[in-house]
Amino acid sequence: MVTASEVLNAALGLETRERAEVAHRLLLSLEPADLDEDVDQAWAEEVRRRLLAIREGRTTLLDWDEALSDIRKSISSPGGT
């Protein structure tokens, strides 16, 4: 039987694209068997909608530090808003 360490060491020796494929397939293997395919489609559509809004300038982007600061302020304020 191959150990997890052996698999990891072998995977780390792969090219970047191959490692990404292995990682993707491993993550998919953790999904429940009854995964709703409609959810994946809905998320894909949401990502496309958001990307289009960014490209068309209809949304305001924040860098991570600013977004995290806003989240922390929201959480710490009374009523969470």
Q: What is the pLDDT of residues 29-42, one digit of tens each?
A: 888 777 777 888 89
> What pLDDT does residue 63 have?
95
Q: If you count them, how many residues does the chain have?
A: 81
Q: Computed from CA positions of residues 77, 68, 45, 48, in that sequence, does the dihedral angle turn out positive or negative?
A: positive
Give yes or no for residue 81 having a pLDDT over 60.
no
pTM > 0.75 = no
Give yes or no for residue 80 having a pLDDT over 70.
no
Question: pLDDT tens across 10-65, in order?
Answer: 999 999 999 999 999 999 888 877 777 788 889 999 999 999 999 999 998 999 99
Distances in Å between the Cα of 39 and the Cα atoms of 16, 23, 34 are 28, 21, 12
